[in-house]
Structure 1
Amino acid sequence: MRKTKLSENVANQIKLIRKSNKLVEARYKFDIWEMRVFVKMLTLIRPEDQDFAQYRINSTEIIHDFGLYDNGSIYKSIKEGAEKLLTKQVEIERIDEEGRKKRIKANLISSTESFVDENEGTDIILKFDPELRRHLLDLKEKYLTYDVRNILKLTSVYSIRIYELLKQYEGMIDESKQGYAKRKFSIDELKKVLGIEEGEYQLYGHFKNKIILKAQKDLESETDIRFEIEEEKSSRKIVSIIFLIYRNNKNSKKEPKSKKQITESVHPKFNKIYTKVKDFVSVEIVESWFKEIPYEQIEVGVGYALSQHKRGKVNDMVKYLQKMVRTEISPTIERKSIPTTAPIIRFENEEAVEEIAKLKSASDLVFNEICNDLLATNKTLKNQIMINMQNGLFAKFYNQSLSFEQNLKDPMVGGAMKGLIHQAFPEAFTEYDNMIKRLKQLEK
């Protein structure tokens, strides 16, 4: 998988991962795609959450977050990673109230939901297994918190696991003394925690080169901690590794600007839009809209997409939002373009002018979308419209040498055809009719 540089937005945005120390030290094994899906799910948990929600991830966000290059197979890899997580179990040891050690085996996730056909949508919805609640929510006992930016560029699942295991001990570093903290693992214990199965990496030299030294290089290069190792022998055999854990100041992640600074540097109304769509797209995607698209177009596109989603018309909200936000609307009406002597329509302020322009554009989108939906789902409607057009008031304008679709594109003829659809199915146009009523109120 070819990598690309992390976007500036991702590189500068803190997303914290929180998990209990027991889960950090649990026994499990992921491949890189399972790890990426699991990490993405962890970043979606909010500190105030009291219970697990359904967590929606999208290939576009995975690409952004991990700085990946999409060669056309990423959705398939993410989908397979999510589905394989269903079969993964984690082994967690804990001490019960009577001081007895117990081992719990639990699934990581309880369900996945995805589209069979990628063309219909690329959202994947997952839910954590309830057993993980005590390890991911309302954490009161010992737990690990770290900035996910430290692991986004790591391509080895073992490097990520070792980072977490050593990060637990970062708080024990005494800068006034030796400047490092120690953590010791027997070789057998470390292999079990990392999920290395019996028979894998039997030679210590192989294990050291492929796992330990690889992690050492990765952490030195990409994360906020680094390590050296000491080895303990028994009868000339290496039996334990002692990690000497140092802070890696050259890779310390910059604290982000305040929320106000970030949003104001993008657009004063950034928060207004992001609040509406945060359940569907990442902050990076919204920032890209504001950099490329006029605010009025974003607002209209978001409003329309949300209304369609509420009506149950949208399968893939991420793709649909992207499409509608990037659909151009008619230019905003400026106050100076309205003659001061006009006796019919007068506007008290600029906000009313803007609202009218946006509402007109949105109503056009709604009207066209409803017409298209009705034509697609009603097989006889097209023939009825054609007969009415060929025999009614607009007969001389309806070009019978052109197809139905070509006539529909003509502003005058198409408008008449859509008017007939409106008359035939008035109940389908309730949303549009309400928008027109609102327009008339504003224009009074």
Structure 2
Amino acid sequence: MAEKKEHVIEMSHRLNLMRSEKFCTNELKVLDKYMSRINPRDKSTRKVVFTLKEFQKDLGINDLRYKTLRTNVEALLGRCVFLPNSETGEFIAFQLFKEVELKKDSTKGWIVTLDCHDRAVDLFFDLAKDGYFSRKLKYSMRLNSANQIKFYMLMKEYEGVGKKKIRLTELIDWLKVNPNMPWKYFKRDVVDICQKALTELTDVTFTYECKRNGHAYEYITFFIKPNHHEQMMLDDYEDDENIQAEVLETEETVSEAYKYSNENLEFLAEACDNSFSEDEMQIIFSIIVKKIPSHKEWLERYDYLLLKYKELKYRISRTDLPPIKSKFNYFRFMLESDVKEE
């Protein structure tokens, strides 16, 4: 089989310092694909073209509704980065992307053009100012969470050094996880999961140690090295992607029968591929308002349901586990378990 072209991302150290609470997994993948297609030494390449189908897939959009695309585009354009200066206490914040254009091309069909914000041009194209590091697009596209992608960025940045010591509070802030999370849960649910994912799915791996200062952990040190024993080859990954795409197409066909009388309920149902009836969505809504009670946080509720529904689809795809008898009952159990944990 012919070797596939490996797209390389050249990322500035400044951009990797970005802090953002809002970037979800799929938006980070769009960012990575954007960086893999620009020439960071030529600012005229700042506009990157996606096919509509590709753009929707990268954003995790499983239906072709204009409203769904618009909602996701608005979210992407609203994502800001926060670049702090730890020495002076100063910071600057701005959007990474300023424009998404959807149009029909005479030869390519529907295409999406993505352009970075004028204020962000130096982050993408002035690599000499603060230096940069390289990584391969295919590895970040394999990862399943924003934390895993951010860990991959961090490990690749310091792979050449082989070691990175960082304050635990700084790492938690960078990942945007709950700052009050006890160390044992942060270790189990974040660090160890990311360590396993990077070892199995990427070209870098790490070990770590965390030392106490009194009763509290203060610093964590990562020991980083190249991973020469990937457990999942790219061809296998793409085969899995094709299988998942077939499953999604089947689910979308089935879900077309459901209609919703309430616009807000319809919006949330799109996060679940419209797979549940109106009565079932009412039950789902009654659960998630306990987790996200503010009536203004509809997008947060949407993102939460989108993430949980992806977890459900992954569970359904597991052939090594017993099949799920009721998709709705299992999903309700997942949501209720989240609420109980809080």
Shared fold by TM > 0.5? Answer: yes
1:34 Cα deviation (Å)?
A: 1.5
CA contact (8 A) 1:111 1:127 kept: yes
**Structure 2 partner of 1:191:** 172
The alignment covers a number of residue pairs equal to: 227
One of 58, 79, 89 as aligned partner of 2:51: 58
**Structure 2 partner of 1:104:** 92
The answer to whether residue 211 in structure 2 is matched with residue 232 in structure 1 is yes
1:351-398 CA-partner distances (Å, limit 9, x unpaired): xxxxxxxxxxxxxxxxxxxxxxxxxxxxxxxxxxxxxxxxxxxxxxxx
Which structure exhibits the higher relative contact order, with contacts defined as CA atoms closer than 8 Å and separated by 6 or more residues? Answer: 2
Amino acid at match of 1:60: K
1:126 Cα deviation (Å)?
A: 2.1
Q: Distance in 1 between matches of 2:28 and 2:18?
A: 14
**Structure 2 partner of 1:143:** 132
Q: Percent identity?
A: 24
Q: Secondary structure at the match of 1:244?
A: strand
Q: Distance in 2 between matches of 1:187 and 1:78?
A: 37
**Structure 2 partner of 1:216:** 195
1:52 Cα deviation (Å)?
A: 5.4
CA contact (8 A) 2:29 2:140 kept: no
**Structure 2 partner of 1:134:** 122
The answer to whether residue 35 in structure 2 is matched with residue 42 in structure 1 is yes
CA contact (8 A) 1:230 1:242 kept: yes
**Structure 1 partner of 2:151:** 162
One of 9, 12, 25 as aligned partner of 2:4: 12
**Structure 1 partner of 2:82:** 91
CA contact (8 A) 1:51 1:133 kept: no
CA radius of gyration, larger in = 1
Structure 1 residues 215, 21: closer, same or farther in 2, change over 3 A?
A: same
TM-score with structure 1 setting the length: 0.45
TM-score with structure 2 setting the length: 0.58
Amino acid at match of 1:162: F
Structure 1 residues 186, 78: closer, same or farther in 2, change over 3 A?
A: farther
Q: Distance in 2 between matches of 1:217 and 1:241?
A: 17
Amino acid at match of 2:79: K
1:138 Cα deviation (Å)?
A: 3.9
Q: Secondary structure at the match of 1:250?
A: coil
Q: Distance in 1 between matches of 2:166 and 2:65?
A: 36
Q: Distance in 2 between matches of 1:92 and 1:158?
A: 18
1:33 Cα deviation (Å)?
A: 2.2
1:165 Cα deviation (Å)?
A: 0.9
Q: Give the 5 Å matches for 1:62-73.
A: 62=55, 72=63
Amino acid at match of 1:85: L
CA contact (8 A) 2:10 2:135 kept: yes
**Structure 1 partner of 2:291:** none
Q: Distance in 2 between matches of 1:144 and 1:252?
A: 24
1:72 Cα deviation (Å)?
A: 3.7
Amino acid at match of 1:22: R
Q: Distance in 2 between matches of 1:186 and 1:244?
A: 15
One of 111, 118, 128 as aligned partner of 1:123: 111
Amino acid at match of 2:158: Y
Q: Distance in 2 between matches of 1:154 and 1:74?
A: 26
**Mind listing any 5+ residue stretches in structure 1 that lack a counterpart?**
1-7, 116-120, 173-180, 255-444
Over aligned residues, Cα RMSD in angstroms?
A: 3.3
1:71 Cα deviation (Å)?
A: 5.0
Q: Distance in 1 between matches of 2:142 and 2:71?
A: 21
Q: Distance in 1 between matches of 2:183 and 2:67?
A: 36
CA contact (8 A) 1:114 1:125 kept: yes
